[in-house]
Amino acid sequence: MQIIESGIRDVEQGENIRVVMPVNIYECKLGDDVFIGPFVEIQKGCVIGRRTKIQSHTFICGNVTLGDDCFIGHGVTFANDLFKNGGPDSSAENWIHIVLGNSVTVGSGATILAAEICNGAVIGAGSVVTKPVLLKGIYAGNPAKLLRLL
């Protein structure tokens, strides 16, 4: 049996970062004043912007960029392997890169499966984002749809 310890390793970090253990955070960048709640995983290649808050039980897959001043609710899942060929793709070259702009709010339990969410957008709790969000507004549902512009 091989046991691999979770924790924090190989992280480029700014100042005044607060992390509530346990977490699994590796090979990523955290900006100044970031908050990360317990039971969060942030994978290789991610960039977390300044003053962004990530609540408990959130999973951020590889190569996700969160802008400054974002709020990510409890139990949010980011997924970049969209199973285009009917199953998991072992080649990261085929995965999407997910980018959230600045001041994006993502409600608890949401799933992000789209490459882009623009500055200032709000994603409702439990929503499933399957297409890029290009207009600042409130989006909710499965699939997430624009409810109103902000």
pLDDT digits (tens, 9 = 90+) for 58-101: 999 999 999 999 999 999 999 998 888 888 888 888 899 999 99
CB 62 within 8 A of CB 80: yes
Indicate the SS3 state at residue 109: coil
pLDDT category of residue 6 using cuts at 50, 70 and 90: confident
CB 67 within 8 A of CB 119: yes
* CATH code where residue 144 lies: 2.160.10.10
Rg (CA), the chain: 15
Q: Residue 62: inside a domain, yes or no?
A: yes
Q: Residue 47: inside a domain, yes or no?
A: yes
Q: Residue 24: inside a domain, yes or no?
A: yes
Burial bucket for residue 1 (CB in 10 Å: 0-12, 13-18, 19+): exposed
Number of structural domains found in the chain = 1
Answer whether residue 26 shows pLDDT above 90.
yes
Return d(Cα 138, Cα 108) in angstroms, integer. 14
Domain that holds residue 122: 11-82+94-149
Q: Residue 87: inside a domain, yes or no?
A: no
Q: So what's the pLDDT on residue 138?
A: 98
